[in-house]
Structure 1
Amino acid sequence: MVLVGLVVGISLIYTFTGTTDPELYQESITAERERQFKFLKYNLDSPLEEEQKDELDSLDFYPIDPEYKVRARLVPVENRRILEIPMTDGSLERYIRHSYAEFDLRGKGLKLLLLQAEDETDRRNFFLAFADETSGDETYGGGRYLNLRQDGQSSITIDFNLAFNPYCAYNPDFACPIPPRENILDIAIRAGEKNYDK
Protein backbone atom coordinates (compact mmCIF):
# COMPACT_ATOMS: atom_id res chain seq x y z
CA MET A 1 0.00 0.00 0.00
CA VAL A 2 3.05 2.26 0.13
CA LEU A 3 2.77 2.83 -3.62
CA VAL A 4 -0.79 4.10 -3.27
CA GLY A 5 0.42 6.68 -0.78
CA LEU A 6 3.20 7.74 -3.12
CA VAL A 7 0.83 8.01 -6.06
CA VAL A 8 -1.50 10.16 -4.00
CA GLY A 9 1.48 12.37 -3.25
CA ILE A 10 2.19 13.06 -6.91
CA SER A 11 -1.22 14.49 -7.57
CA LEU A 12 -3.24 16.30 -4.94
CA ILE A 13 -6.83 15.20 -4.76
CA TYR A 14 -8.67 17.66 -6.94
CA THR A 15 -12.36 18.38 -7.20
CA PHE A 16 -13.36 21.33 -9.33
CA THR A 17 -17.04 22.06 -8.92
CA GLY A 18 -19.32 25.02 -8.42
CA THR A 19 -17.96 27.31 -11.11
CA THR A 20 -18.13 27.58 -14.87
CA ASP A 21 -15.47 30.28 -15.20
CA PRO A 22 -13.26 28.96 -18.05
CA GLU A 23 -10.31 31.16 -17.07
CA LEU A 24 -10.37 29.96 -13.48
CA TYR A 25 -10.65 26.38 -14.69
CA GLN A 26 -7.57 26.77 -16.90
CA GLU A 27 -5.65 28.34 -14.02
CA SER A 28 -6.60 25.49 -11.67
CA ILE A 29 -5.43 22.77 -14.05
CA THR A 30 -2.24 24.67 -14.85
CA ALA A 31 -1.48 25.11 -11.15
CA GLU A 32 -1.97 21.39 -10.49
CA ARG A 33 0.35 20.52 -13.37
CA GLU A 34 2.97 22.90 -11.99
CA ARG A 35 2.72 21.23 -8.58
CA GLN A 36 3.22 17.86 -10.25
CA PHE A 37 6.31 19.10 -12.07
CA LYS A 38 7.82 20.57 -8.89
CA PHE A 39 7.20 17.35 -7.00
CA LEU A 40 9.01 15.30 -9.62
CA LYS A 41 11.92 17.71 -9.93
CA TYR A 42 12.51 18.68 -6.31
CA ASN A 43 10.84 16.29 -3.87
CA LEU A 44 12.87 13.66 -2.05
CA ASP A 45 10.09 11.13 -2.73
CA SER A 46 10.21 11.74 -6.48
CA PRO A 47 10.75 8.58 -8.57
CA LEU A 48 13.31 10.42 -10.70
CA GLU A 49 17.00 9.77 -10.31
CA GLU A 50 19.18 12.82 -9.64
CA GLU A 51 20.36 12.95 -13.25
CA GLN A 52 16.74 12.87 -14.45
CA LYS A 53 15.84 15.68 -12.06
CA ASP A 54 18.69 17.80 -13.40
CA GLU A 55 17.52 17.27 -16.98
CA LEU A 56 13.79 17.74 -16.32
CA ASP A 57 12.62 21.18 -17.44
CA SER A 58 8.94 20.42 -18.11
CA LEU A 59 6.32 17.71 -18.38
CA ASP A 60 4.36 17.06 -21.56
CA PHE A 61 0.59 17.46 -21.42
CA TYR A 62 -2.28 17.63 -23.87
CA PRO A 63 -3.90 21.07 -24.13
CA ILE A 64 -6.52 21.62 -21.43
CA ASP A 65 -9.90 20.60 -22.84
CA PRO A 66 -13.02 21.08 -20.66
CA GLU A 67 -14.82 18.38 -22.70
CA TYR A 68 -12.73 15.82 -20.84
CA LYS A 69 -14.17 16.87 -17.50
CA VAL A 70 -17.27 14.71 -17.03
CA ARG A 71 -19.91 14.05 -14.43
CA ALA A 72 -20.30 10.31 -13.86
CA ARG A 73 -23.04 8.28 -12.21
CA LEU A 74 -21.78 5.97 -9.47
CA VAL A 75 -23.14 2.45 -9.73
CA PRO A 76 -22.10 0.22 -6.80
CA VAL A 77 -20.55 -3.13 -7.72
CA GLU A 78 -22.71 -6.04 -6.68
CA ASN A 79 -21.01 -8.36 -4.19
CA ARG A 80 -18.03 -6.11 -3.61
CA ARG A 81 -14.91 -8.18 -3.23
CA ILE A 82 -11.16 -7.91 -3.15
CA LEU A 83 -9.51 -7.72 -6.55
CA GLU A 84 -5.84 -8.57 -6.87
CA ILE A 85 -4.41 -6.17 -9.43
CA PRO A 86 -1.21 -7.25 -11.22
CA MET A 87 1.72 -4.90 -10.74
CA THR A 88 4.39 -4.11 -13.31
CA ASP A 89 6.93 -6.20 -11.35
CA GLY A 90 4.69 -9.28 -11.36
CA SER A 91 3.44 -8.91 -7.80
CA LEU A 92 -0.19 -8.33 -6.82
CA GLU A 93 -1.84 -5.43 -5.00
CA ARG A 94 -5.21 -5.82 -3.29
CA TYR A 95 -8.03 -3.35 -3.94
CA ILE A 96 -11.76 -3.32 -3.33
CA ARG A 97 -13.94 -3.41 -6.45
CA HIS A 98 -16.16 -0.56 -5.32
CA SER A 99 -18.24 1.12 -8.04
CA TYR A 100 -18.58 1.78 -11.72
CA ALA A 101 -18.50 5.33 -13.02
CA GLU A 102 -20.86 5.64 -16.00
CA PHE A 103 -20.70 8.70 -18.24
CA ASP A 104 -20.81 9.97 -21.81
CA LEU A 105 -17.73 11.34 -23.53
CA ARG A 106 -17.95 12.80 -27.00
CA GLY A 107 -21.19 10.96 -27.67
CA LYS A 108 -20.01 7.58 -26.44
CA GLY A 109 -21.23 5.84 -23.29
CA LEU A 110 -18.35 4.65 -21.10
CA LYS A 111 -18.02 2.73 -17.85
CA LEU A 112 -14.92 2.59 -15.65
CA LEU A 113 -14.24 0.52 -12.55
CA LEU A 114 -13.34 2.56 -9.46
CA LEU A 115 -11.07 0.85 -6.96
CA GLN A 116 -10.48 1.53 -3.31
CA ALA A 117 -7.37 0.65 -1.33
CA GLU A 118 -7.99 -1.93 1.38
CA ASP A 119 -6.68 0.45 4.02
CA GLU A 120 -8.48 3.57 2.75
CA THR A 121 -10.10 5.29 5.73
CA ASP A 122 -12.14 7.84 3.74
CA ARG A 123 -14.73 5.89 1.76
CA ARG A 124 -15.20 8.82 -0.64
CA ASN A 125 -11.72 8.40 -2.13
CA PHE A 126 -11.16 6.25 -5.19
CA PHE A 127 -8.32 5.15 -7.43
CA LEU A 128 -8.79 4.97 -11.20
CA ALA A 129 -6.22 3.31 -13.44
CA PHE A 130 -7.06 3.35 -17.15
CA ALA A 131 -5.55 2.78 -20.57
CA ASP A 132 -6.86 3.99 -23.92
CA GLU A 133 -5.92 4.13 -27.58
CA THR A 134 -3.11 6.60 -26.89
CA SER A 135 -1.39 4.17 -24.49
CA GLY A 136 1.99 2.98 -25.72
CA ASP A 137 2.16 5.77 -28.29
CA GLU A 138 1.31 9.27 -27.15
CA THR A 139 0.95 8.25 -23.51
CA TYR A 140 2.60 5.73 -21.20
CA GLY A 141 1.97 2.13 -22.26
CA GLY A 142 1.08 1.00 -18.75
CA GLY A 143 -1.84 3.42 -18.54
CA ARG A 144 -2.46 6.53 -16.49
CA TYR A 145 -4.03 7.28 -13.11
CA LEU A 146 -6.54 9.56 -11.46
CA ASN A 147 -7.24 10.01 -7.76
CA LEU A 148 -10.94 10.77 -7.39
CA ARG A 149 -13.18 11.93 -4.60
CA GLN A 150 -16.92 11.37 -4.53
CA ASP A 151 -18.59 14.77 -4.61
CA GLY A 152 -22.25 13.79 -4.90
CA GLN A 153 -24.60 11.30 -3.30
CA SER A 154 -24.42 9.01 -6.31
CA SER A 155 -22.09 10.89 -8.66
CA ILE A 156 -18.45 11.78 -9.11
CA THR A 157 -16.47 14.22 -11.23
CA ILE A 158 -13.79 12.76 -13.51
CA ASP A 159 -11.39 15.23 -15.09
CA PHE A 160 -9.06 13.52 -17.52
CA ASN A 161 -7.09 16.75 -17.85
CA LEU A 162 -5.58 15.70 -14.50
CA ALA A 163 -4.60 12.18 -15.61
CA PHE A 164 -0.99 11.51 -14.60
CA ASN A 165 1.68 8.92 -15.20
CA PRO A 166 2.49 6.24 -12.62
CA TYR A 167 5.95 6.23 -11.06
CA CYS A 168 7.08 3.35 -13.25
CA ALA A 169 6.73 5.61 -16.30
CA TYR A 170 9.72 7.54 -14.93
CA ASN A 171 11.64 4.76 -13.21
CA PRO A 172 11.26 1.01 -13.89
CA ASP A 173 12.42 0.22 -10.36
CA PHE A 174 8.93 1.17 -9.14
CA ALA A 175 6.02 -1.28 -9.26
CA CYS A 176 2.71 0.16 -10.44
CA PRO A 177 -0.83 -1.25 -10.74
CA ILE A 178 -1.84 -2.28 -14.25
CA PRO A 179 -5.31 -1.06 -15.28
CA PRO A 180 -7.99 -3.76 -14.93
CA ARG A 181 -9.49 -5.02 -18.17
CA GLU A 182 -12.70 -3.08 -17.51
CA ASN A 183 -10.69 0.13 -17.77
CA ILE A 184 -9.02 -0.45 -21.13
CA LEU A 185 -10.90 1.95 -23.36
CA ASP A 186 -11.34 1.65 -27.11
CA ILE A 187 -11.22 5.41 -27.56
CA ALA A 188 -8.38 7.93 -27.36
CA ILE A 189 -8.30 10.07 -24.22
CA ARG A 190 -6.22 13.00 -25.44
CA ALA A 191 -6.16 14.78 -22.12
CA GLY A 192 -3.78 14.83 -19.19
CA GLU A 193 -0.12 13.84 -19.14
CA LYS A 194 1.66 12.48 -22.18
CA ASN A 195 4.55 10.03 -22.28
CA TYR A 196 7.64 10.94 -20.26
CA ASP A 197 10.51 11.70 -22.64
CA LYS A 198 13.60 10.16 -21.16
Structure 2
Amino acid sequence: MKTNTILIIFVSVVVLAAVGYMLTSAEDPEVYLEKIEAERERQYKFIRYNIDSPLSDEQKQNFKELDFYPIDPLYKVKARLISNEEKRMREVPMTDGSVEKYIEHSYAEFELNGKTNRLLLLQSVDEKDMRNFFLAFADETSGRDTYGGGRYINVRQDGKTSITIDFNLAYNPYCAYNPDYACPLPPKENLLNISIEAGEKNYKD
Protein backbone atom coordinates (compact mmCIF):
# COMPACT_ATOMS: atom_id res chain seq x y z
CA MET A 1 0.00 0.00 0.00
CA LYS A 2 1.37 3.39 -0.98
CA THR A 3 2.49 5.79 1.75
CA ASN A 4 0.10 8.55 0.64
CA THR A 5 -2.82 6.09 0.72
CA ILE A 6 -1.92 5.08 4.28
CA LEU A 7 -1.68 8.76 5.24
CA ILE A 8 -5.11 9.49 3.77
CA ILE A 9 -6.62 6.56 5.65
CA PHE A 10 -4.94 7.66 8.89
CA VAL A 11 -6.16 11.24 8.52
CA SER A 12 -9.68 10.01 7.75
CA VAL A 13 -9.70 7.85 10.88
CA VAL A 14 -8.49 10.78 13.02
CA VAL A 15 -11.12 13.10 11.57
CA LEU A 16 -13.90 10.56 12.09
CA ALA A 17 -12.73 9.97 15.66
CA ALA A 18 -12.69 13.70 16.34
CA VAL A 19 -16.18 14.15 14.90
CA GLY A 20 -17.43 11.18 16.90
CA TYR A 21 -15.91 12.63 20.06
CA MET A 22 -17.57 15.99 19.48
CA LEU A 23 -20.92 14.37 18.88
CA THR A 24 -20.76 12.12 21.93
CA SER A 25 -19.24 14.74 24.25
CA ALA A 26 -21.71 17.47 23.32
CA GLU A 27 -24.38 17.95 25.96
CA ASP A 28 -27.77 16.57 25.02
CA PRO A 29 -30.23 19.51 24.63
CA GLU A 30 -32.91 17.82 26.75
CA VAL A 31 -30.39 17.02 29.48
CA TYR A 32 -29.21 20.64 29.42
CA LEU A 33 -32.77 21.98 29.75
CA GLU A 34 -33.46 19.59 32.63
CA LYS A 35 -30.28 20.71 34.39
CA ILE A 36 -31.20 24.41 34.17
CA GLU A 37 -34.80 23.73 35.23
CA ALA A 38 -33.55 21.71 38.22
CA GLU A 39 -31.30 24.59 39.28
CA ARG A 40 -34.19 27.02 39.00
CA GLU A 41 -36.34 24.76 41.15
CA ARG A 42 -33.53 24.60 43.71
CA GLN A 43 -33.34 28.40 43.75
CA TYR A 44 -37.09 28.66 44.24
CA LYS A 45 -37.11 26.22 47.16
CA PHE A 46 -34.23 28.02 48.82
CA ILE A 47 -35.90 31.43 48.52
CA ARG A 48 -39.28 30.04 49.57
CA TYR A 49 -38.36 27.75 52.45
CA ASN A 50 -34.76 28.10 53.63
CA ILE A 51 -34.07 29.78 56.96
CA ASP A 52 -31.26 31.77 55.28
CA SER A 53 -33.59 33.11 52.58
CA PRO A 54 -33.51 36.91 52.16
CA LEU A 55 -37.32 36.98 52.24
CA SER A 56 -39.11 37.94 55.42
CA ASP A 57 -41.71 35.55 56.85
CA GLU A 58 -44.43 37.80 55.44
CA GLN A 59 -42.84 37.78 51.99
CA LYS A 60 -42.56 33.98 52.06
CA GLN A 61 -46.29 33.63 52.64
CA ASN A 62 -47.06 35.50 49.41
CA PHE A 63 -44.13 34.12 47.39
CA LYS A 64 -45.27 31.97 44.46
CA GLU A 65 -42.44 31.79 41.92
CA LEU A 66 -39.24 33.27 40.55
CA ASP A 67 -39.38 34.91 37.14
CA PHE A 68 -36.91 33.79 34.46
CA TYR A 69 -36.25 34.32 30.78
CA PRO A 70 -36.86 31.22 28.64
CA ILE A 71 -33.81 28.93 28.62
CA ASP A 72 -31.65 29.76 25.59
CA PRO A 73 -28.50 27.68 24.90
CA LEU A 74 -27.06 30.56 22.84
CA TYR A 75 -26.40 32.34 26.15
CA LYS A 76 -24.07 29.56 27.24
CA VAL A 77 -20.74 30.85 25.92
CA LYS A 78 -17.18 29.59 25.88
CA ALA A 79 -14.89 32.44 26.83
CA ARG A 80 -11.16 32.97 26.47
CA LEU A 81 -9.51 33.28 29.87
CA ILE A 82 -7.05 36.17 29.93
CA SER A 83 -4.96 36.12 33.08
CA ASN A 84 -4.43 39.32 35.02
CA GLU A 85 -0.73 39.17 35.82
CA GLU A 86 -0.86 41.67 38.69
CA LYS A 87 -3.80 40.04 40.55
CA ARG A 88 -4.50 43.29 42.36
CA MET A 89 -6.84 43.63 45.32
CA ARG A 90 -10.09 45.39 44.44
CA GLU A 91 -12.42 47.19 46.84
CA VAL A 92 -15.85 46.46 45.38
CA PRO A 93 -18.60 48.92 46.41
CA MET A 94 -21.62 47.45 48.20
CA THR A 95 -25.22 48.64 47.98
CA ASP A 96 -25.02 50.05 51.52
CA GLY A 97 -21.98 52.21 50.78
CA SER A 98 -19.41 49.85 52.32
CA VAL A 99 -16.77 47.93 50.35
CA GLU A 100 -15.75 44.27 50.11
CA LYS A 101 -12.33 43.08 48.96
CA TYR A 102 -11.87 40.75 45.98
CA ILE A 103 -8.90 39.73 43.84
CA GLU A 104 -8.91 40.92 40.21
CA HIS A 105 -8.09 37.49 38.82
CA SER A 106 -8.80 37.29 35.08
CA TYR A 107 -10.81 38.55 32.14
CA ALA A 108 -13.26 36.40 30.19
CA GLU A 109 -13.57 37.41 26.53
CA PHE A 110 -16.36 36.05 24.33
CA GLU A 111 -18.59 36.77 21.34
CA LEU A 112 -22.29 37.34 21.90
CA ASN A 113 -25.00 39.24 20.03
CA GLY A 114 -22.52 40.04 17.28
CA LYS A 115 -20.06 41.75 19.62
CA THR A 116 -16.86 40.88 21.42
CA ASN A 117 -17.41 41.28 25.16
CA ARG A 118 -15.06 41.18 28.11
CA LEU A 119 -15.90 40.62 31.78
CA LEU A 120 -13.72 40.86 34.86
CA LEU A 121 -13.65 37.72 36.99
CA LEU A 122 -13.24 38.38 40.70
CA GLN A 123 -12.12 35.90 43.32
CA SER A 124 -12.93 35.98 47.00
CA VAL A 125 -9.91 36.44 49.26
CA ASP A 126 -11.18 33.40 51.19
CA GLU A 127 -11.62 31.17 48.11
CA LYS A 128 -9.90 27.79 48.57
CA ASP A 129 -10.45 26.49 45.02
CA MET A 130 -8.50 28.70 42.62
CA ARG A 131 -10.76 27.62 39.71
CA ASN A 132 -13.84 29.30 41.19
CA PHE A 133 -14.75 32.90 40.36
CA PHE A 134 -17.43 35.44 41.17
CA LEU A 135 -18.98 37.29 38.25
CA ALA A 136 -21.18 40.33 38.84
CA PHE A 137 -22.52 42.07 35.74
CA ALA A 138 -25.16 44.51 34.52
CA ASP A 139 -26.51 44.86 30.99
CA GLU A 140 -29.14 46.66 28.93
CA THR A 141 -31.95 44.74 30.71
CA SER A 142 -30.84 46.01 34.14
CA GLY A 143 -33.45 48.27 35.69
CA ARG A 144 -35.96 47.19 33.06
CA ASP A 145 -36.61 43.45 33.08
CA THR A 146 -33.87 42.55 35.54
CA TYR A 147 -32.63 43.92 38.85
CA GLY A 148 -31.09 47.38 38.46
CA GLY A 149 -28.12 46.52 40.66
CA GLY A 150 -26.99 43.73 38.34
CA ARG A 151 -26.93 39.96 38.55
CA TYR A 152 -24.41 37.29 39.54
CA ILE A 153 -23.04 34.04 38.11
CA ASN A 154 -20.76 31.59 39.88
CA VAL A 155 -18.27 30.40 37.26
CA ARG A 156 -15.61 27.72 37.30
CA GLN A 157 -12.57 27.40 35.06
CA ASP A 158 -12.96 24.34 32.84
CA GLY A 159 -9.91 24.65 30.59
CA LYS A 160 -6.33 25.89 30.73
CA THR A 161 -7.24 29.09 28.89
CA SER A 162 -11.02 28.90 28.74
CA ILE A 163 -14.07 29.19 30.91
CA THR A 164 -17.78 28.59 30.31
CA ILE A 165 -20.24 31.34 31.24
CA ASP A 166 -23.89 30.28 31.24
CA PHE A 167 -26.08 33.36 31.50
CA ASN A 168 -29.11 31.08 31.89
CA LEU A 169 -27.77 30.60 35.43
CA ALA A 170 -27.62 34.34 36.21
CA TYR A 171 -29.32 35.01 39.53
CA ASN A 172 -30.33 37.99 41.65
CA PRO A 173 -28.38 39.18 44.68
CA TYR A 174 -30.16 39.12 48.05
CA CYS A 175 -30.74 42.88 47.95
CA ALA A 176 -33.06 42.36 44.95
CA TYR A 177 -35.47 40.70 47.40
CA ASN A 178 -34.73 42.64 50.55
CA PRO A 179 -33.02 46.09 50.70
CA ASP A 180 -31.78 45.31 54.22
CA TYR A 181 -29.03 43.20 52.64
CA ALA A 182 -25.76 44.65 51.32
CA CYS A 183 -24.62 43.26 47.97
CA PRO A 184 -21.54 43.80 45.76
CA LEU A 185 -22.18 46.05 42.76
CA PRO A 186 -20.80 45.05 39.34
CA PRO A 187 -17.40 46.63 38.61
CA LYS A 188 -17.34 49.21 35.81
CA GLU A 189 -15.63 46.67 33.52
CA ASN A 190 -18.75 44.50 33.71
CA LEU A 191 -21.35 47.00 32.56
CA LEU A 192 -22.33 45.43 29.23
CA ASN A 193 -23.93 47.49 26.47
CA ILE A 194 -25.86 44.48 25.16
CA SER A 195 -29.04 42.84 26.43
CA ILE A 196 -28.55 39.54 28.25
CA GLU A 197 -32.06 38.12 27.95
CA ALA A 198 -31.26 35.03 29.98
CA GLY A 199 -31.37 34.01 33.61
CA GLU A 200 -33.43 35.48 36.43
CA LYS A 201 -35.65 38.53 35.97
CA ASN A 202 -36.49 41.15 38.59
CA TYR A 203 -38.28 40.04 41.75
CA LYS A 204 -41.79 41.42 42.20
CA ASP A 205 -43.47 40.84 45.55
Q: Which residue of 2 aligns with 1:174?
A: 181
Higher relative contact order (CA 8 A, sep 6+): 1
User: Are 1:197 and 2:204 matched, yes or no?
Assistant: yes
Q: Which residue of 1 aligns with 2:105?
A: 98
SS in structure 2 at match of 1:33: helix
Alpha-carbon shift at residue 40 of structure 1 (Å)? 0.3
Identity across the alignment (%): 69
Residues 65-103 of structure 1: CA distance to partner in whole angstroms, max 9, x if unpaired? 000000001001131110000000000000000000001
Aligned to 1:86, which of 84, 89, 93? 93
SS in structure 2 at match of 1:80: coil
Q: How does 1:44-83 map to 2 (within 5 A)?
A: 44-83=51-90
CA distance in structure 2 between the aligned counterparts of 1:106 and 1:187, rounded to whole angstroms: 7
CA distance in structure 1 between the aligned counterparts of 2:35 and 2:27, rounded to whole angstroms: 12
Q: Give me the CA root mean square deviation.
A: 0.7
SS in structure 1 at match of 2:133: strand
User: Are 1:151 and 2:158 matched, yes or no?
Assistant: yes
Give 1 or 2 for the bigger CA radius of gyration.
2
Q: How does 1:155-166 map to 2 (within 5 A)?
A: 155-166=162-173
Q: Which residue of 2 aligns with 1:134?
A: 141
Alpha-carbon shift at residue 27 of structure 1 (Å)? 0.5
TM, length-normalised to structure 2? 0.87
CA distance in structure 1 between the aligned counterparts of 2:115 and 2:189, rounded to whole angstroms: 16
CA distance in structure 1 between the aligned counterparts of 2:26 and 2:178, rounded to whole angstroms: 37
User: Are 1:21 and 2:21 matched, yes or no?
Assistant: no
Alpha-carbon shift at residue 19 of structure 1 (Å)? 3.3
Residues 139-164 of structure 1: CA distance to partner in whole angstroms, max 9, x if unpaired? 00000000011111111110000000
Residues 15-56 of structure 1: CA distance to partner in whole angstroms, max 9, x if unpaired? xxx433111111100000000000000000000001111111
Q: Which residue of 1 aligns with 2:120?
A: 113
Alpha-carbon shift at residue 105 of structure 1 (Å)? 0.7
Instruction: Return structure 1 stretches of 4+ with deviation > 3 angstroms.
Output: none
SS in structure 1 at match of 2:121: strand
Which residue identity lines up with residue 66 of structure 2 in the other structure?
Answer: L
Preserved contact between residue 108 and residue 121 of structure 2 (Cα < 8 Å): yes
Q: Which residue of 1 aligns with 2:47?
A: 40
Which residue identity lines up with residue 58 of structure 2 in the other structure?
Answer: E
Which residue identity lines up with residue 24 of structure 1 in the other structure?
Answer: V
CA distance in structure 1 between the aligned counterparts of 2:58 and 2:74, rounded to whole angstroms: 37
Structure 1 residues 99-108 or 127-136, which shifts more?
A: 99-108
Q: Give the gaps of 5 or more residues in structure 2.
A: 1-24
Which residue identity lines up with residue 185 of structure 2 in the other structure?
Answer: I
TM, length-normalised to structure 1? 0.90
Q: Give the gaps of 5 or more residues in structure 1.
A: 1-17
Q: Which residue of 1 aligns with 2:21?
A: none
